[in-house]
């Protein structure tokens, strides 16, 4: 997946699944916890992103994806 | 024809305040109430046991249904945390407590959150093959016996309860379709260790959201039904957030799938009968039940109201 598409996808999935969250470029390096994504939301976002991107994300890999940018890097690599 | 006649349940008197537990685990109360969805957890006290809770459930069943104990030919108990380590099998101990006749088959089955859906099919098949007319199916799985008090993933989630379902040849609901699945390779997601119950929350979450909706829709398709044909969807009450999203992914209208675990928590194989007991009064025409958890094991069944002639 191209990087621009990946950024768009991750931002839209975060906004879709986390109530009240408005994403912007400056939040991409923040930790998910800091931008108000709790541990359950993270699981849902990772699942949705993986399915939409057609990328399998293992439990161990998912544990390391703690910022929006890391999720983007993973699905666009 | 055998099927479900009536259901009763029992919650032990002991209670754990989940918000107090949340404080202990440094977890926000909002997360506990809105995401886990559990405010209070019923807990076995010292005097409680699988047998005593099951007997209490039976007494409640007797309050709503005329039961002639001499007619009971089969007792099945679903638990993975039996009294005395399961020796003797707890169904025999319940048989003794209820003073049931000797001509009565008794056995236990060891399944977790899929246990109610499985167990209903097991007891009905066994009774049917043996020409039996009245049987009791109990669920009671006190996970409090195996919780690690330092593990917030599980301590905030599991409650203790018991249920009993009367299986009868004059049923109100009959089985029309069922599907059973297992992913043994994923069983490490929920297991008992020397420290107690250990749960990989992410693996269980992924399983519930990805595999369960497929089975629900597969069961509907094989019965040539769709979501609109079902009045009530009773899904295992694991946690609020997991349920909400499983329901959404299965394409089930939220109003048809009750989420009711605030005062019970996840009661394992008792969660579906707890709901069913309340919902039967509303006389739904078709009910789909889906239980999923340890194993990984999942089972879905459709029951239909019997037309009285």
B59-101 pLDDT, tens digit each: 999 999 999 999 999 999 999 999 999 999 999 999 999 999 9
Q: Which of B202, B205, B247 to mutate to test the interface with A (most CBs of A within 10 A)?
A: B202
Residue of A nearest to B200 (CA): A59
CATH of residue B264's domain is 3.40.47.10
Smallest CA-to-CA distance from A2 within A73, A68, A52, A60 is with: A73
| Inter-chain touch B35–A62, beta carbons under 8 Å | no
pLDDT at A39: 87
pLDDT band of B28, cuts 50, 70, 90: confident
Average pLDDT of the residues in B131-157: 95
Q: Which of A17, A39, A41, A56 to mutate to test the interface with B (most CBs of B within 10 A)?
A: A39
pTM of model > 0.80: yes
Q: Which of B35, B203, B210 comes nearest A59 by C-beta?
A: B203
3-state helix, strand, coil in chain B (%, to 5): 40, 25, 35
Smallest CA-to-CA distance from A35 within A68, A70, A73 is with: A68
To 5 degrees, how large is the angle CA B254–CA B220–CA B80? 80
Please state the separation of Cα A19 from the chain's center in Å: 15
Q: Are residues B159 and B259 in the same domain?
A: no
Q: What is the mean pLDDT of chain A?
A: 91
- Count CB-CB contacts under 10 A for residue B17: 11
What's the rounded Cα separation, in Å, for the pair B21 and B144? 14
Q: Are residues B53 and B159 in the same domain?
A: yes
Question: In sequence order, what DSSP letters do the residues of B15-68 get, joined into one string?
Answer: EEEHHHHHHHTT--HHIIIIII--SEEEE--TT--HHHHHHHHHHHHHHHS---
Structural domain count, chain B: 2
ipTM above 0.90, yes or no: no
Q: Are residues B51 and B135 in the same domain?
A: yes
pLDDT at A60: 87
Q: Note down the domain range covering B58.
A: 3-171
Whether the pLDDT of residue B292 is over 70: the answer is yes
CATH of residue A41's domain is 1.10.1200.10
Residues on A contacting B at a C-beta cutoff of 8 Å: 38-40, 43-44, 47, 59, 62-63
Domain boundary among B171, B187, B218: B171
CA distances from B178 to B6, B122, B218, B287 (A): 20, 11, 10, 12
| Inter-chain touch A43–B201, beta carbons under 8 Å | yes
Average pLDDT of the residues in A72-77: 88
Q: Are residues B204 and B290 in the same domain?
A: yes
Percent of chain B exceeding pLDDT 70 equals 100
What's the rounded Cα separation, in Å, for the pair B21 and B293? 24
Average pLDDT of the residues in A26-30: 91
* Antiparallel, parallel or unpaired: β B190-193 and B40-43: unpaired
Q: Are residues B232 and B277 in the same domain?
A: yes
pLDDT band of B284, cuts 50, 70, 90: very high
- Give the H/E segment covering residue B168: strand B162-168
| Inter-chain touch B35–A47, beta carbons under 8 Å | no
B252-278 pLDDT, tens digit each: 999 999 999 999 999 999 999 999 999
B184 class by beta-carbon count within 10 Å (0-12 exposed, 13-18 middle, 19+ buried): exposed
pLDDT band of B309, cuts 50, 70, 90: low
Smallest CA-to-CA distance from B256 within B241, B235, B242, B237 is with: B235
Q: Note down the domain range covering A40.
A: 3-76
A vs B, Cβ pairs < 8 A, gives 25
Q: Are residues B181 and B165 in the same domain?
A: no
Q: Are residues B156 and B280 in the same domain?
A: no
Average pLDDT of the residues in B197-218: 95
Q: Are residues B129 and B204 in the same domain?
A: no
């Amino acid at each position: 997946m191209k990087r621009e598409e990946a950024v768009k996808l991750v931002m839209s999935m975060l906004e879709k699944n986390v109530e009240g969250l408005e994403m912007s470029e400056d939040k991409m390096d923040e930790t998910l916890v800091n931008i108000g994504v709790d541990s359950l939301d993270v699981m849902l976002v990772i699942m949705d992103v993986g399915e939409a991107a057609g990328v399998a994300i293992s439990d161990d890999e998912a544990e390391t994806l703690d910022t929006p940018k890391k999720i983007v890097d993973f699905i666009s690599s | 024809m055998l099927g479900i006649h009536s259901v009763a349940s029992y919650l032990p008197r002991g209670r754990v305040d989940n918000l107090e537990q949340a404080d202990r685990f440094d977890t926000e109360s909002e997360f506990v109430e809105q995401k886990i969805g559990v405010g209070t957890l019923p807990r076995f006290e010292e005097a409680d046991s699988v047998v005593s809770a099951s007997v209490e459930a039976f007494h409640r069943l007797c309050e709503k249904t005329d039961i002639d104990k001499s007619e009971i030919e089969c007792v099945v108990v679903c638990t993975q945390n039996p009294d005395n380590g399961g020796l003797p099998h707890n169904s025999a101990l319940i048989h003794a407590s209820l003073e049931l006749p000797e001509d009565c088959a008794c056995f236990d089955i060891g399944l977790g959150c899929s246990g109610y859906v499985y167990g209903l099919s097991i007891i009905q098949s066994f009774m049917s093959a043996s020409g039996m007319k009245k049987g009791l199916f109990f669920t009671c799985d006190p996970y409090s016996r195996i919780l690690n008090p330092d593990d917030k993933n599980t301590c905030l989630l599991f409650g203790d309860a018991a249920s009993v379902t009367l299986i009868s040849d004059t049923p109100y609901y009959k089985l029309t379709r069922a599907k059973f699945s297992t992913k043994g390779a994923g069983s490490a997601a929920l297991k008992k260790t020397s420290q107690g119950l250990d749960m990989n929350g992410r693996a269980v979450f992924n399983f519930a959201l990805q595999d369960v909706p497929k089975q629900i829709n597969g069961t509907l398709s094989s019965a040539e039904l769709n979501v609109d044909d079902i009045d009530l969807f009773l899904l295992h009450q694991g946690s609020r957030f997991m349920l909400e999203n499983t329901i959404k992914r299965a394409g089930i209208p939220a109003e048809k799938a009750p989420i009711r675990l605030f005062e019970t928590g996840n009661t394992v194989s008792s969660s579906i009968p707890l709901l069913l007991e309340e919902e039967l009064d509303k006389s739904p025409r078709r009910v789909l039940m889906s239980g999923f958890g340890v194993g990984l094991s999942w089972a879905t069944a459709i029951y239909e109201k019997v037309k009285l002639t």
